[in-house]
Structure 1
Amino acid sequence: MTRVLKLRQENIDEQLTRDRAVRPKILDTDIDGAERVLTMLNHLIDINTATEESFRIAMNAFLRRGRFRWMRDQHVTCAADQIEDLLEKLIELKSPSDVSLATYNLALEAYAVCSTPRGERDYARRAESLVKRMEQVFGILPVESYKHVLHAFAWQQANLEEGECARKACELLKLIEQRTEDGLTLMQCYDWTLEVWSKSGSAGSASEAQGLLDKMKTLNLTLSTEDIENGAHLILDADTYCNAILAWAKNSVSSGAVRANDILLEMIDRFNKGAFPSGSEPSLIAFNGVMAAWGRQGRADMAESILKLMDEVRLKCTNLTPDAISYNSVVHAYLRSDDKELALQKVSEIVKFMEDNCHKQPAIKPNVFTYNTLMKCWIQSDREDVAEQSEATLMRIQRLWDSGDISLQPTNRMFNMVINAYAKGNSRDAARKAVLLLESMKQSELCQPDVISYTSVIECLSKSTDPQSGEKAEELLSEAFQRYQETKDNALRPNARTFAMVILTLARTNGSVVRARELLVQLLELYEETNDPDLRPNQYHYNYVLNCAANTIEETKKLEAFQVATLTYQEMRKSNLVRPDSFTYAFWLKCCNNLIPPGDLRKKCVEYSFEECRKEGLVSKEVLLRLTQGNPPKLVDKLLDFPQSSTANDTKRPAYRRVIKVQDLPKAWSRNIYRK
């Protein structure tokens, strides 16, 4: 009996029904005796002696369970489900009009207590439906009934979702305001409605929450002695301010952080003056919310100042202490700031502080988000050792995970970030290190590579001086395809960028232009089969094939290379998917220069293509470079409209020594490219 008494209403309410962030527990025993009460009620029903009072005793027994769940007939049930069943059974035994209003209100209260945004039980809607039935039976209902429905909608509103529940709560609030002036009732309803707007992701939520907070502050000044004795003043506490802070902190407008910050300072001021009831103190989520809001604005200085303020306030509090989220909000704010060097310095200092002090304050132990942000700070910095430092951070996480720290699980995304850092950098050893990271991923059970991994490694190979890079790139493309076919995981399927990087690697390592062309054809066929936008070829694929052809060195293969280049160039000009750009013409001129012996054929190809380039408005400095360096001065003069009889010294110089700039030519020639 002592065990049962300990789990009566006061404990259940305090431990479970008030903490909405905690998922309800599943009872495995009849620890509070509610099932025994139900058994006795069923016995009374069987012998036809059950009264409404008997039902209400059973309903109250289950209501005291609060948000507990338990199994019944292999299904999870709760107080709202059980009390709903009892109410319907009572109505069957009697009639809707013979059941008292108080009994109906027990069902409404159960809906409110058990209401949650999780699952599909929709207790708020069920409460609303029951109220409509009650109105048909009783006519005008007391405010208490509508309070329960408002409460149900307040707790059913999902975080950052459309505020349908919030709007319903507001409708009920207006009705309640019309029917009562009771201070305690109004304060409670304002508080619930403010809470629902603090969770809503609808436009205007913060303004609605602010309006309710202002109403509560005004009403709090006019409370009667009786209202205060009944506890109305207890409602305007730190939690109320916290809800208003969160509403503004989630607001996407720039003023959201400012308003959240102002309310936080007001809350701290009231707390310091003892205006809150005993036990009510600023909460961690309020500080974290404001820091996150400043972080989204890139105001790392303000986010860090709030963290320091929390350190001051927590000396006067019982439960307030920073956690990893607090510090993560600040490091994320620095990540978004404009000064990337300062961001790296500050984030490195904060992460070190967290590491050095987490033994004393376990809540601030760095987590995956912390290290992930540190890696991003390295990657966006201008340091030369970006990739190496990012890899060092990744290896630190890997070592901690291997040593048994299950909270620091390396992710596929982290490996990809490091590989991509090598791909974007200039390290001569980048390709080798990227390949090693890819091998580590393949051996891992947690961080298997995806198409991003393979593509980034191939990009590293495209910058490598290793003559075997082209072959390695093709092997990785084939491997990715094989893994995709085995797993049918779309995250592994090579895309247009993967093909582009392989063709580019072949072009830069004097690889086979025939193979480059085959890869382009394969990509075109895949796109035609799937119509997947991720497989749609673009100018890069064609241009890289042209460049690969132009880089052909062996004399015996130059004719074949020019044939491939001609086919690719003509196909591109007729394609419905892509159009030639300035690089297309530059690479085509490079092909003419490198693959066709001087003579009429080269002259004819160059003249025709340059005239097309002029018409398209795509004459760029790269096009001019290929034109002037590979062709006789007279041809260059003719194509650029220089007078053949000119005696100017500049026109007498060889074409490769002549300084010709795009901006010196007619604007129409380069109208479709960026003119520098």
Structure 2
Amino acid sequence: MMQSKLSYIRKALRLSATAGRRYSSASPCSILPRHRIIRRRWPTSVERCCSPLITTNDSYRFISIPTTSFLDRTDNETNSTTTETAQIQIQNDQALNNEQQDLLQYTQSLLREVKEIPAGELSQTQISEMSSCIEQYISEVHSYVCAEQAHALLLRLIMERTAWQRLHVEGAIRYFDNVYSGGTFVDRMMSITTAFEEAYDETPYKSIISLLCNCFSAHASTAAELILDRFETRLQDENNPLYHSNLPTVETYNAILTSWAKSGRRRHVKSSSSLSYSHHPNAPSNLVSQMLQLYNENPSEMERIRPDFLSFNTAIASLTRDQHFRSNNADDNTYRRTIGKVCFDHLQTMMLFYRQDNHAIAPDLITFSTVMMTLGRGKDRDDASRAMQLLDEMLHLCGVDVKKVGGVGNDGSLTISVVLNTALFDQPTTFTELYEEGDFDEINQGSSKQYIYNVIPRNKHFNVALAIMAQSRKVNSNTLEQARRYVDIMEQLGQYESQKMLDNPPVNEELSDKGLEMDISIISASSSKPDTITFNTLLKIAAKAGEPVVADEIFEEMMTKYSEGNLQVKPDRVSFNTLLLAWSKAKGANAGKRVTELLETMQKMADNGDEDVRPDHVSMTTVINTLAMSAKKNRSNPKQAESIISRMEDNKEAALRPDVVTYTAVMKCWMECGSLRAAGRAVEIIDKLHQRYEDGYLECKPDTLAYNVALNAIAKSRAIEGGAEHAEALLERMQDRYMSGDNDVAPSARSFVTVMNAWARSKDPNRGKHAEKLLLQMHELHGAGLDNVAPNTVAYSTCIFAWSKSGQSNAGSRAQKLLKEMERYRSEGMDDMKPNVFIYTNVMEAWIASRQPDSLDKVEAILEHMIEQSNAGDRDSAPNTTTFNVVLKAIRHSSHPEMHDKAEQVLYCMKKTGVKPNIITYNTFMGACARVEGNEETRRRAFSLVLAAFSELQAVGLRPDGYTWPAIWQACQCHLDINADLPKINSLFDITVKNGAFNELLFNSVRGFLPPSYLQKKLNRKDDVRTLTVHDLPAEWTRNVKLGRVKDPTKKKSKA
């Protein structure tokens, strides 16, 4: 049957060949598709994707046939398929029925028959048979292997310059679109285009693009864009520019943009061909960017492809859909953050063209809304400024200049005076409405005296802009002022619009006929008036700006408007919670009081029937956290927190029950208030969390943070003797649970550091050993696979600090060993354990505490090492003022015979390295000089250094403190003779009196050094000065010191 059918086809083709003719004119086809401008109804949604495709006849002229046949190249390309493609071919080949197998075999024999015939020399019969086979494949056989045969037939027919109808290009492209996928389809389309380029001197680029754009698939869109790119590249070729009578226009580009939009895809398909440009990952936006680049490079010649309204809006809509795409790829996430900026830039370009009198490209309300929403979903740090700029642009187009709006009233409040172009109310809001009204020619000629759209910002525009401002990283008082300005503008714009609708006679008459009245609330809902979301966002901005008092004012305004009947601004639970958040960030005792008042207000309103403001879990937890932060200034806060959590425990609603976060906040409250009960209560709460979890309250499962807070409470407690031991016991309990399989309580580095710090601040002489044991445990757990317990700089620093406070003879050597470990880890690239100036300084303190004969040498060696590291570029190791002070302290505690010279060298080195001395520096220096022993010359030189240091500290603007004068008098006592040096002593005494520096310590020291007669003369008293106290001295002598209360020896100390 198949053979009879094929013979019938051959007979019909021979008959048609007799009556047919070979086309040898300048065109390869007798009838080419003509396209006219089609006016379509534009969709009202943001995703406007349709565009008219404007093309004219594509004409071709014959050119000489190349020596190497394109068909040969294509055969070789086709035969080099991958293993996967070969398997698909075999499967498809086996799926063919007998008739289709016969057609396939006949096609293969036909291709072998014509392969050796030069291009342009096939008979009409052969051409007709090949054309018929293509048609047969298109209508009946959808198979990969058959598509390959159809593709080969089409390429040979193109080389024969066959008439367009016999090529079946339109059907073939649709056929290939159904059979091929991805890069295979793109490669086949590019080979077809190449065949046309080699066969004709004018390739039907736009016709091929038009057909591809009707497929609405990603690979067809990719192929269309690649062909257009090749077309433009050949036109712009400086060495051999292509002449073509039918150039690409903006409609050609818009057809591809529409194809991308309808394909639902936004990424190019990978193939053996690539675009000559890459501006953006999003395909439509990338194409529009290329249009702009070509236009900007040569505006006069490339006016034909200047992007229009549809171009930009299609790109913006595509970018918006891209923003919803989620990926684990970091590059994709980075790209999504830039989408708002790209959309904003597209809109700015539209406005630029509009201001150049191209009014038809003006963005409409949907364009502005789409870009604003895109900015709202973005996370770029500059999105807030872009949103404000966009909103200001909309207001400016309405006749409102935000920069000139407003002022400060007599009461200090912001006043707004908005003058609006009310004629905009009668303007269309979208391109669709404008298109239906016509008059495009008049609009494009710039005859309109005002903006052609009603782009008065609506409530949602303001709310999105305010939300972006609230989410920005830097929110301050300026941000809050601008936000309040926008809200005031919303009020007046809403009043304009409401009045406009109320004054509309047709609307009022229609409502009157139906027995209805104008509902102001409905008008407000569709206008620019602020609503609950507006005020909630404004409250959030005030909270982030650290302005709780202003937040209170905003909330009171909200409550007032609602009480006056404005239902659009009814406060809800979010309003209260945001206000609670504002006060939770406030510093001071009033914060706790204010949040408890707000919580009571919420509860009263809920009890009166307003369920929208009933406190929830967030409300309760925020209040408890606020009480915790202000607990230092109000020690009754823990009781209030306990009362709140008790109410939560009694609540039957699961959403209001306390969870581990709430209980953790209560522990923080006890810890911050410094109560003696803090440590015990923390342990009780941990036990309670475990008990509630075992009782079925899964939200109370203890976690690492809860344990860490409890550890901190125990470590800071003064009530528990041996707090470090109790903290370590809780840490061991934490580890036991983790080792039993409870990963939620896995100890962290902070857990260990908290306990190590407790040991460091304890009075246990073995504190250094305990801290180092914990550090070793951290290494073991980390080696076992627990990443969050990896030892870090803080852990090592705390351990070294514990050794420095231990006073053990081996403290210096143990601290030095830990320091070497850190330096070894740093050399291996582990920056988390990099030593810094604080660690080096604590190692110095450990050497001083160890009191070894070579402690001073070790300290000086560490200082030299720090300076070397700093000079090599490690700024974290650069010695600071504290470092040099510790070195001076080491000199003072040493037995060096010339410690005054050592101290002088350190002070000189300190100044040379640019480190500024403080009062502690000079006090320690003078203390070191005071301890110098030796002959008279040595001691007098040491005292001269003390006087020089005293003069220097005054010269640099430092004030002597309570340790300066005792250091000077100690040097005086050690190095001066009471008889021979009386003038110097007398001068120093007068300076001390003049400075009012006599405190109890200094007076006792001076009284033990100076003869009683000397003091009697100075005090003008004859009684025994040895019984005097500092309170008996003249007020002038003690005016700059704190003397404290006078103790009454007759009173006994009361028992606490």
Q: Answer whether contact 1:451 1:494 (CA < 8 A) is retained.
A: yes
Q: Aligned partners of 1:343, 1:398: CA distance in 2, in Å?
A: 32
1:518 aligned onto 2:861: yes
Amino acid at match of 1:186: R
1:38 aligned onto 2:217: yes
> CA offset at residue 453 of structure 1?
2.3
Alpha carbon RMSD of aligned pairs, Å? 5.8
Q: Aligned partners of 1:305, 1:231: CA distance in 2, in Å?
A: 32
Amino acid at match of 2:526: A
Residue 25 of structure 1: aligned partner: none
Change (3 A) 1:236 1:474: same
Q: Aligned partners of 1:89, 1:541: CA distance in 2, in Å?
A: 60
Residue 81 of structure 1: aligned partner: 282
* Equivalent of residue 190 in structure 1, options 440, 456, 462: 462
Amino acid at match of 1:295: S
> CA offset at residue 433 of structure 1?
3.4
**353-362 or 119-128, which moves further after superposition?**
353-362
Residue 878 of structure 2: aligned partner: 535
Change (3 A) 1:628 1:326: farther
Q: Aligned partners of 1:521, 1:39: CA distance in 2, in Å?
A: 67
Within a 5 Å distance, the mapping from 1:214-293 to structure 2 comes to 214-217=488-491, 223=498, 224=501, 228=522, 232=526, 237-253=531-547, 255-259=549-553, 261-262=555-556, 275=567, 282=572, 287-293=576-582
Q: Answer whether contact 1:153 1:166 (CA < 8 A) is retained.
A: no
Q: Aligned partners of 1:261, 1:446: CA distance in 2, in Å?
A: 43
Measured against aligned partners, the alpha-carbon deviations of 1:79-114 in whole angstroms (never above 9, x if no partner) come to: 99354468789999x997899856754444444565
1:585 aligned onto 2:903: no
Q: Aligned partners of 1:368, 1:328: CA distance in 2, in Å?
A: 20
1:174 aligned onto 2:395: yes
Residue 513 of structure 2: aligned partner: none
* Equivalent of residue 484 in structure 2, options 185, 210, 215: 210
Q: Answer whether contact 2:714 2:726 (CA < 8 A) is retained.
A: yes
1:335 aligned onto 2:629: yes
Change (3 A) 1:487 1:100: closer
Residue 612 of structure 1: aligned partner: 948
Q: Aligned partners of 1:145, 1:422: CA distance in 2, in Å?
A: 65
Q: Aligned partners of 1:587, 1:273: CA distance in 2, in Å?
A: 78
Q: Aligned partners of 1:263, 1:405: CA distance in 2, in Å?
A: 50
**575-584 or 543-552, which moves further after superposition?**
543-552
Within a 5 Å distance, the mapping from 1:43-82 to structure 2 comes to 61=262, 73=270, 81-82=282-283
Change (3 A) 1:648 1:108: closer
Residue 120 of structure 1: aligned partner: 338
> CA offset at residue 169 of structure 1?
1.9
Q: Answer whether contact 1:157 1:166 (CA < 8 A) is retained.
A: no
Q: Answer whether contact 2:548 2:579 (CA < 8 A) is retained.
A: no
Residue 6 of structure 1: aligned partner: none
SS in 2 for 1:446: helix
* Equivalent of residue 436 in structure 1, options 761, 770, 773: 773
Q: Answer whether contact 2:344 2:386 (CA < 8 A) is retained.
A: no
Q: Aligned partners of 2:462, 2:317: CA distance in 1, in Å?
A: 18
Q: Answer whether contact 2:800 2:843 (CA < 8 A) is retained.
A: yes
* Equivalent of residue 351 in structure 1, options 663, 685, 695: 663
Residue 593 of structure 2: aligned partner: 301
Residue 362 of structure 2: aligned partner: 141
> CA offset at residue 582 of structure 1?
0.8
Q: Answer whether contact 1:198 1:243 (CA < 8 A) is retained.
A: yes
> CA offset at residue 324 of structure 1?
6.8
**491-500 or 116-125, which moves further after superposition?**
116-125
Residue 799 of structure 2: aligned partner: 457
> CA offset at residue 381 of structure 1?
7.1
Amino acid at match of 1:290: L
> CA offset at residue 485 of structure 1?
1.8
> CA offset at residue 494 of structure 1?
2.2
Amino acid at match of 2:350: V
Residue 4 of structure 1: aligned partner: none
**578-587 or 157-166, which moves further after superposition?**
157-166
Change (3 A) 1:607 1:321: closer
Q: Aligned partners of 2:804, 2:222: CA distance in 1, in Å?
A: 81
Measured against aligned partners, the alpha-carbon deviations of 1:189-232 in whole angstroms (never above 9, x if no partner) come to: 33333333333435532233333334445655664488948962
Measured against aligned partners, the alpha-carbon deviations of 1:396-441 in whole angstroms (never above 9, x if no partner) come to: 7666665666666654345444434543454555434322332233
Residue 897 of structure 2: aligned partner: 562
5+ long unaligned stretches in structure 2: 1-42, 48-180, 183-212, 229-250, 272-277, 295-301, 325-333, 400-420, 426-453, 508-519, 646-661, 667-687, 955-959, 991-1009, 1044-1056
**315-324 or 186-195, which moves further after superposition?**
315-324
Q: Aligned partners of 1:607, 1:43: CA distance in 2, in Å?
A: 89
> CA offset at residue 518 of structure 1?
2.4
**507-516 or 525-534, which moves further after superposition?**
525-534
Residue 482 of structure 1: aligned partner: 824
SS in 2 for 1:604: helix
Q: Answer whether contact 1:423 1:457 (CA < 8 A) is retained.
A: yes
5+ long unaligned stretches in structure 1: 1-8, 14-28, 553-557
Measured against aligned partners, the alpha-carbon deviations of 1:252-292 in whole angstroms (never above 9, x if no partner) come to: 3453443465467679x68x999359xx99465x5554333
Q: Aligned partners of 2:701, 2:319: CA distance in 1, in Å?
A: 39
Change (3 A) 1:393 1:144: farther
> CA offset at residue 448 of structure 1?
2.4
Residue 967 of structure 2: aligned partner: 623
Q: Aligned partners of 2:595, 2:381: CA distance in 1, in Å?
A: 22
> CA offset at residue 536 of structure 1?
1.9
Residue 131 of structure 1: aligned partner: 350
Residue 494 of structure 1: aligned partner: 835
Residue 56 of structure 2: aligned partner: none
Change (3 A) 1:329 1:484: farther
Q: Answer whether contact 2:312 2:346 (CA < 8 A) is retained.
A: no
Change (3 A) 1:365 1:191: farther
Q: Aligned partners of 1:502, 1:170: CA distance in 2, in Å?
A: 59
Q: Answer whether contact 2:848 2:856 (CA < 8 A) is retained.
A: yes
Measured against aligned partners, the alpha-carbon deviations of 1:604-624 in whole angstroms (never above 9, x if no partner) come to: 355434433543456725415
1:472 aligned onto 2:838: no
| Count of aligned residue pairs for this structure pair | 616
Q: Aligned partners of 2:617, 2:753: CA distance in 1, in Å?
A: 28
Q: Aligned partners of 1:614, 1:95: CA distance in 2, in Å?
A: 81
Q: Answer whether contact 2:844 2:887 (CA < 8 A) is retained.
A: yes
Tell me the TM-score normalised to structure 2 length.
0.47
Measured against aligned partners, the alpha-carbon deviations of 1:437-486 in whole angstroms (never above 9, x if no partner) come to: 32233233323233332222222222214332222122222222222222
Q: Answer whether contact 1:419 1:456 (CA < 8 A) is retained.
A: yes
Q: Answer whether contact 1:188 1:232 (CA < 8 A) is retained.
A: no
Q: Aligned partners of 1:333, 1:292: CA distance in 2, in Å?
A: 12
Amino acid at match of 2:805: K
> CA offset at residue 295 of structure 1?
1.9
SS in 2 for 1:524: helix
The structure number with the bigger radius of gyration is 2
Change (3 A) 1:87 1:362: farther
